[in-house]
Amino acid sequence: MRKRTKFIYLISPNKINSNFYKDLKEVLKTNKVKYFQLRLKSISTDKIIKISRKIKKICKYFKVKFIVNDNPLISLKVGADGCHLGQSDMDIEKARKIIKKKIIGVTCHNSLNKAKKAIAKKADYIAIGAFQKSITKKIKYKATLNDLKKFRIITKKPIIAIGGINQYNYKKLLLNKADFLAISSFIWKNKKLKPIQAIKLLK
């Protein structure tokens, strides 16, 4: 397997505490993260904007693309590099009118049909999963390596693998042509390792 740099699509923890920013700087300093997605539920827009502005500065310093989950309007307001849309979020075409040429990524679960639609609507990347159980959120859709291969056949756009990825299973996804690995709980909710220790296990 070729040596990869920046193969991680890092997703934020559900809650941002005071230690988070220091940990984020350490993690991004490893030069393994291409994208950082802020994914916060059930908190006010004002708080998300405040947190976004701090994270954006850190991401810019380490040359990491800053993506806001769910909300193109917040993405536009804070000057993020793009937004990520789930299947129940805003339509890609509507989001494109808001954030113009910036990055739009779309969750396609394990559905080739959803992936084809996202590609037709000019999504910049597509996310497939979940490959394993995750403690970040409940798994409704299970994806296989065979699904990943099918996605790869239909597009040259970046494919991001999602769901329960850790030091034991990540290489298999890269070997089967995933471009990036979406990782959250392995870094932020790891009971045995600090964030910097966890990311160093992904080589």
* pLDDT tens readout for residues 28-81: 999 999 999 999 988 999 999 999 999 999 999 999 999 999 999 999 999 999
pLDDT above 60 for 96: yes
Domains of the chain: 8-200 (3.20.20.70)
The pLDDT value recorded for residue 202 is: 96
pLDDT band at 141 (very low <50, low <70, confident <90, very high): confident
Q: Mean pLDDT throughout 145-170? A: 96
Residue from 161, 192, 164 nearest 178 by CA: 161
Looking at per-residue confidence, does 133 or 157 come out higher?
A: 157
Looking at per-residue confidence, does 32 or 137 come out higher?
A: 32
Q: Mean pLDDT throughout 128-150? A: 85
pLDDT above 70 for 186: yes
Helix (H) or strand (E) holding 33: strand 33-38
pLDDT above 80 for 135: no
pLDDT band at 5 (very low <50, low <70, confident <90, very high): confident
The answer to whether 143 and 130 have CB atoms below 8 angstroms apart is yes
The pLDDT value recorded for residue 3 is: 58
pLDDT above 90 for 136: no
Q: Mean pLDDT throughout 110-133? A: 95
Q: 32: alpha, beta or left, given left = phi > 0 and alpha = psi -120 to 50? A: alpha
Q: What's the mean per-residue pLDDT of the chain?
A: 94
CA distance between the termini of the chain:
11
Distance CA 64, CA 81 (A): 9
The pLDDT value recorded for residue 133 is: 75
Residue from 64, 48, 60, 58 nearest 24 by CA: 58
